[in-house]
Homo-oligomer: A and B are copies of this chain.
């Protein structure tokens, strides 16, 4: 059915699902050739994933998810989860670290094609191998995790701990107030690298990073604090996050700190409300009331969204630059499986960037367009 291929035993002690996602992108820009380096444009497979997930012996879940975009393998979720206790679950394996609303939300669900400038700081807390404890009720969630390195850096990618808590004092299907916060630390190990880097790519394929700290050496570890809030009323929603990173440095170097934020609003032209899950503190994508059908003359759901985001990657002797951008999105939810997204992003205030425009420091960014075709199964 619309939730993909699933089977289960009569007693539901054993379940199995096979699924995946296809995300196909086109990127182009209005004034890309003015920049040095010029952005890469064209078509690309943004994500191409298969996964198997299921339940064994009632209390144990698992998921094994692989991405093949760019003809490369990337292990995504790969975990075993124990749900047999009343007061918390334990998840062992490769999983997202417990930080940031936007990071926790699936790329299938976020209302823009790419995460905001907050991800220039939070992406350090993307998936890693570790253990997570999670508690939840209908309208709150709490998670605490300890992690090693991401798979691509296994053996010398450091370690981390993080925790996220969310609460929804208002929670109906059309009216939600969500607040939350998360804090995390990633330490570099003596055997591993002592460098961190924070940056943001203007599109996933552009290879243009207006803000980019470059490699910051002698970093012993970084703390990230992230606060988040969202409010939804019928077809309208607002969502915001602010993240701040403090990186401690060794060998007498003074620490550096960076900040980033976003504020976004969304309006469902066809009236549907976004779907909120209070037990993990995340928004899911729209489910259109009237899926597209030429025969029935129905046209799915349409959504307009606007985001302002900014970051400041200048601190001490690190000049990573500052960026403020706006993104306008028009999203078409053909049905629960298919979404077509059109994003216009304009970085209108850039400081201290290593990217040049017509030979001088870029102060306004590329006006870029992204169109994505997304199907989940």
Given known pairs A78-B48, A375-B56, the reply for A70 and B18 (CB within 8 Å) is: no
Please name the residue on chain B nearest to A86 by beta carbon. Answer: B294
- A337-B377 in contact given A43-B148, A155-B205 (Cβ < 8 Å): no
With contact pairs A41-B191, A43-B129 given, residues A18 and B375 touching in the complex (Cβ less than 8 Å) = no
Interface residue ranges, A against B (CB under 8 Å): 1-2, 4-5, 7, 9, 14, 16, 18, 20, 22, 24, 26, 38, 40-45, 48, 50, 52, 54, 56-60, 62, 64, 66, 68-75, 78-80, 84-85, 92-94, 128-130, 147-149, 151-152, 154-157, 159, 189, 191, 205, 291-295, 334-335, 337-338, 373, 375, 377
B-side contacts of A69, CB under 8 Å? 75
Collect the chain B residues with CB atoms within 8 Å of residue A157's CB: 42
Q: How many copies does the complex hold?
A: 3
A50, chain B: closest CB distance, angstroms: 6
Across the interface, do B291 and A92 meet the contact criterion of CB distance under 8 Å? no
Report if A40-B155 is in contact (Cβ < 8 Å); known contacts: A80-B375, A338-B56, A377-B16: yes
* Inter-subunit contact B71/A22 (CB<8 Å): no
User: Given the interface contacts A16-B377, A43-B149, does A75 sit within 8 Å of B62 by beta carbon?
Assistant: no
Q: How far is the CA of A128 from the CA of B24 in the complex (A)?
A: 12
